[in-house]
Structure 1
Amino acid sequence: MLEHPNHVLAISTVRTASATELEYPAGPIVCVATFSVERTNDDEARFASTHVTFEPGADWRFPGAHIRCLLHRHTFAIGCRSFSHNNREAYRRNRCPSYEELPGTAHLPSIQRHVIRAREKTLARLARDHGLTVSDRPPHLLQAQREAADRAQAAWLMALGFVRNQEERAHLYAAWEAWRALERARPLPF
């Protein structure tokens, strides 16, 4: 990502553990959080966040359907997957495509997608440095669901580091900080 696309959708999924699959220990998706950055012109960006939970026994197509509703024709979808010495060999052996980490994007050839592979400690440190909450070790399921929205924003921040133009990076980062301040100031709906 050498220049920031007009629309980026960062996706964070939380899965239950699978008792039957040893090679793929991830079970069904129980939470999806997204962070959308849409450039309206050279000087403005619009931010949005979603955070949806699903019952473990719910239809497996629901998370993908939720994400497809948020995609544009020219969306650049990103996600972040934990990368450690333990799963490096499994990744090399299986070479799972990016869309497995980005549900709802498999049958949309017009969009670009990328999964960033990072150590949990690296993502947690980046999140913490920017006021987000992401655990540096695998949290329990409820904690992972609570952190999903911040994890999506941290994935976008990590991808923002790949934008070549420093001025563009600084502008988008400042706009994001302003959006976060407004989000924190918003009263709770209950």
Structure 2
Amino acid sequence: MKIGLYFGSFNPIHVGHLITANTIAENSDLDQVWFVVSPHNPHKKKSSLLHEFDRYDMVRLAIAGNEKLNVSDIEFSLPKPSYTIDTLTYIQEKYPNYQFQILIGEDNLTHFHKWKNHEKILEYYGVLVYPREGTPKTEFHSHPKVKCIEAPLLNISATYIRNLIQEQKSIRYLVPQDVEVLIHSKKFYL
């Protein structure tokens, strides 16, 4: 099975994440895309994150019924902060018959050379890249293990959604309805 791993905080998951993952799942040779909920991204402040189980629950609700999408809590038991190469090594050992690639936004290519063991990620796994507006071309754009995928340009951010919630404004259509209900019922981000 070919699996695309879509790493993120998903704080909260929103329609931009879902459209991107579904577009790639439907328009590539992947069998599934797995949302890998990161307990702590080494490049983000931990204080702004909801608990990882709450973020996992939101992703689970958001993708319910889509057989091409799945959610993984694999990083919850790994040392924190999580580094992509460590997760890839662990997940490959756990699923030796699966083939994994990572999904990243094009903007990540500008600093991909700073990722821990980025050469090994390219050599053993490969990278599927979805477009981000205004991203300059890098040497990675022409790398044989980097494949740019055509997908809609979506400029929706979880920060924007969290700000709307704090201002008690509507987040309708920015997140799936079940996620919106959960956010309001548990008073997330207030």
TM-score of the aligned structures, taking structure 2 as reference length: 0.31
Kindly indicate which of the two structures has a greater share of residues assigned to helix: 2
TM-score of the aligned structures, taking structure 1 as reference length: 0.31
